[in-house]
Amino acid sequence: MGSYFRRAFRLAITTNPRLALLLAGCTLAAGVLPAGMAWVGKLIVDAVVAAAAGNANARAVLLLIGVEAALVALIAAAQRGIALCESLLRAQLGYRVNDMILAKALTLELAQFEDSEFYDKLTRARRDASTRPLNLVRQSFGLLQNLISLLSYAALLSQLSVLAVGVFLLAGLPAFLAEARFSGEAFALFRWRSPDTRMQIYLETVLAREDHAKEVKVYGLGRPILGRYGDIFRKLYRRDRSLALRREGWGFALGLLGTAALYGGYGWVALQAVAQRISLGEMTMYLLLLRQGQAAVTASLSALGGLYEDNLYLTNLYEFLEQPVPDRVGHVTAGAAPGDGIRFERVSFRYPGATGDAVSGIDLHLAPGRSLALVGDNGAGKTTLIKLLTRLYRPTGGRILLDGTPLDAWDESALRQRIAVVFQDFNRYQFTVGENIGAGDVAHLHDQARWRQAATDGLAAPFVETLPGRYGAQLGSWFKGGRELSGGQWQKLALSRAFMRREADILVLDEPTAAMDAQAEADVFEHFRRLAARRMAILISHRFSTVRMADEILVMRDGVITERGSHAELLHAGGHYARLFTLQAAGYR
């Protein structure tokens, strides 16, 4: 339990030391004051009895009542103080933990995101951990408060009988052990259900998000998916119910033990008063101490159980935060052979958990000013090559060089600066038009002049000018006033985003024109060719009318390069490329 406990505490304290200190102070006050109240209560009763017998005057009674009222006000202040500190700390701590989780996510590799076990960790960490550290702190302060109360009660009660104190504490022990056991079980259950919970979240997304709504309606998927959602719920509910039943049942049975101890104590105290071994005031105090003491024992028990559970949940958070990140040793910002361009040397790659290589034995060289097209059936490995080039994945065999220096040795940001890429599944940010374009170069995220130039280059400018609000128009339908664009328009924005990277000398377009009309495609490639005069360009496309413009064409099949050469050479060779080309050309005749 120890280490996460300490870390959660350190986290809470460093988040806002002053609040944490105030919280500790209030907790202490809320812990000792109730015993003081019980003591004053005894004094009041004794003073009343004495005054009634004519041995004291009534002013002393009123004074004591005034003291008790003041104590009540102080306790209220301490409790409000605790609530205030907690709500402020909760907000700050919640933000901080989420920030830690998201910042950690930024350092991870793409491959880790695609690993379901890892994704589970991320989901679990995000779902619960942001409230858990505060819970843990709150529970431990609550525990401390109750323990202080118990100690002060015990001190007062031990005047009567030390044995009674011992019996009383022992009576709470079984309930505590049961609590700890069920907390552990609840946590195991939480882990066990994690994949199902994730599936549930996903089904919710499919059913309730605008980008899925089209297919769900057209194919009538709604009911079946909802049914699946219900099945998962029922499966999880059965386990939840069984645990809840046992937990509450045992809690009740063992709680009875405490109640028995309490009323045993009651009877004994009453008998002591009857025998006049204690005063009426003392009896009042002891009865109050017994009752409050039992409440404090119960509260401590549940705080302990809660602590145990929170601590277990925190293991999720730290498991995620401690997920090893591949070290980024690279510091090189300029290659050993500037102007050499991109080289793949016998590169192969296998996806984690896959049984075969997605690409293998890839050799290629692309010099500045040249363009390269990749052609091949779906699943041939084209996109995988691009992911390797952009270092989203690292080759499992061979190596990739940029300007004579292996990619691994390159400094992360120096490398990213040089590459502009439009992926097939590019992002459609629910931001403004300008931000959608500006996202291509974070250093110039808000540079309006650059947006315009990039939009012109990416052919987005003409339609953007027609939008109300132009570059300030909100896109997507998640936020108020957002506009949805057509697939081709989104694609032009994605292209413009790539053109934001003016310093980039490697341009990668993965089927950039699939959603565009023919004229737009011709325009993009016209432009693409102009840019390619000083850059390296890599293009993936199924349209031979554009592929043929590339200086070199690689034909891929099942992860290997089967043909290479210029359009004319490949046609002449009469291989797969020539067949595909003739097939497509025939379609246009």
Chain positions contacting ligand ADP, by CB under 6 A: 114, 351, 354, 358, 376, 378-384
Q: Which amino acid is at 145?
A: Q
Q: Which of residues 114 and 204 has its CB atom nearest to ligand ADP in the complex?
A: 114
Minimum separation from the CB atom of position 566 to ligand ADP (A): 21
Q: In the complex, what is the shortest distance from the CB of residue 6 to ligand ADP, in angstroms, rounded to a whole number?
A: 39
What is the closest distance, in whole angstroms, from the C-beta atom of residue 400 to ligand ADP in the complex? 15
Residue 350: both structure tokens together: 């296998």
- Closest CB to ligand ADP among residues 297, 364: 364
- Measured from the CB atom, the residue of 114 and 211 that comes closer to ligand ADP is 114
Question: Smallest Cα–Cα separation from 367: which of 532, 576, 216, 257?
Answer: 532
Cα separation, 134 vs 15, in Å, equals: 11
Long-range CB contacts for residues 119-123, cutoff 8 Å, separation at least 24: 119/198, 120/194, 120/195, 120/198, 121/316, 121/319, 121/320, 121/323, 122/320, 123/194, 123/197, 123/198, 123/201
β-pair type (342-349, 506-510): unpaired
Report the DSSP beta bridge partners of residue 372.
Answer: 538, 552
User: In the complex, what is the shortest distance from the CB of residue 242 to ligand ADP, in angstroms, rounded to a whole number?
Assistant: 38
Nearer to ligand ADP by Cβ, of 297 and 547: the residue is: 547
Q: Which two tokens stand for residue 109?
A: 């590799």
Indicate the SS3 state at residue 557.
strand
Q: What is the C-alpha separation between 425 and 511, in angstroms, rounded?
A: 10
CB nearer to ligand ADP: pick between 456 and 562: 562
Residue 547, judged by CB atoms within 10 A of its CB (0-12, 13-18, 19+), counts as buried
Q: Cβ neighbours of residue 444 under 8 Å, at least 6 residues apart?
A: 438, 450, 500
The residue (of 473 and 560) whose beta carbon lies closer to ligand ADP is 560
Q: Which is nearer to ligand ADP, 276 or 378 (CB)?
A: 378
Tokens (6 digits) for 260: 């028995």
Least separation in angstroms between residue 581's CB and ligand ADP is 18
**Closest distance of CB 425 from ligand ADP, Å:** 10
Nearer to ligand ADP, 377 or 408 (CB): 377
CB of 426 to ligand ADP, least distance (A): 14
The distance of closest approach from Cβ of residue 143 to ligand ADP in the complex, given in angstroms and rounded to an integer, is 47
Largest interatomic CA distance in the chain: 126
Tokens of 314: 């925190």
- Nearest approach in angstroms of CB 382 to ligand ADP is 3
Query: Which one, 384 or 405, has the nearer CB to ligand ADP?
Result: 384
Distance spanning both ends of the chain, measured CA to CA: 75
Nearest to 525 by CA among 534, 536, 513: 513
